[in-house]
Chain A
Amino acid sequence: MSVIRSSLITQLTTNLAGSNVSVSSELPFESGGDVLYSKNMKTLYVDEEQISQDTLYEVLDRSNFLTNTSTVNAYLQVDAKTQLTDINAIISSVLSAKSVITGTITSESDYDTEIDLDHIVYTFEYRFEKTV
């Protein structure tokens, strides 16, 4: 498990303690044709870290500097008909978990939603940039 994913799960577990949502350390894989966050509603699943690398500076002695961009997605599905009473606090807690990752140039988080029948899926995205 990547360090960033592991740290996020630990922080999310702390942030969401006492809320209506729990955090799983399992990946959001499919089981029996359904993704886990669809089968286990009100459970937040954190996906594997994706890393992309861009050149920040090229220098003549070839000691080039790169920017690593790490992206981590998290998924939560809840009932759309009867929204959780603390959904706003949950969203805020999930977004603020980014602060556990330090030593980065940028640290961003946002989310979007998708309604499927009577369910709503929250897809959170964390982005971290680091110079290497």
Chain B
Amino acid sequence: MAVINVTSGSQAVLTLGTTDAMSLPGGTDGLILPLMQDVTVSATTGTVRYSVLSSPSSSAFTTVNENSVTLNMLLDGPVFFGGSSAGLNLILDNGLLKTSIDKTEIFWSVAFNEGNTTGEYFVKGKGFLTGLTPTASLDAAIWISPMEIVVNGEITKVIVS
């Protein structure tokens, strides 16, 4: 048994990029999303159940996979509204909000541990940012927001070699 601990700030890392290479863990100019409270990678297989008269139990067949990455984060101003990467990473130039509004397709990876050392795992894909819902209150006086990456296509498992 080998659980995957999250014992340092360099584990459970989401990296966003405008190219596949940029979005890999440790990728040049990749945007490592700061201040995430949690992250969930959802790989859901679509299924349809059906019944036949000759069987007391239902049967099933698979349909398409519906994949997503969901998270909650504290808002970092330059990341949310746009900072500057001198055009090297348009997600950072435009910010998460504009990237979502513009429906720009982005590439992403989630490192389960640090993800850039031989033998480590990460998952990657591409998709669209959605679900930004910034909220603030006096009880928790920091802007927070959920976010979802609606994955376009498959989630790919990668072992760093």
Binding site for B on A (CB under 8 A): 56-63, 65, 105-106, 131
Q: Per-residue CB proximity of B53-82 to A under 8 Å, as 1/0? A: 000000000000000000001100000000
Q: Is the CB of A57 within 8 A of B142?
A: yes
Q: Which of A60, A106, A131 contacts B142 (CB 8 A)?
A: A131
Q: Is the CB of B37 within 8 A of A59?
A: yes
Q: Is the CB of A59 within 8 A of B36?
A: yes
Q: How far is the CB of B13 from chain A (nearest CB, A)?
A: 8
Q: Is the CB of A61 within 8 A of B141?
A: no
Interface residues on B, range: 20 to 34
Binding site for A on B (CB under 8 A): 6, 8-13, 32, 34-39, 73-74, 138, 140-142, 144
Q: How far is the CB of A58 from chain B (nearest CB, A)?
A: 7
Q: Is the CB of B39 within 8 A of A60?
A: yes
Q: Is the CB of B35 within 8 A of A61?
A: yes
Q: Which of B6, B141, B144 contacts A60 (CB 8 A)?
A: B6
Q: How far is the CB of A22 from chain B (nearest CB, A)?
A: 36
Q: How far is the CB of B22 from chain A (nearest CB, A)?
A: 19
Q: How far is the CB of A100 from chain B (nearest CB, A)?
A: 20
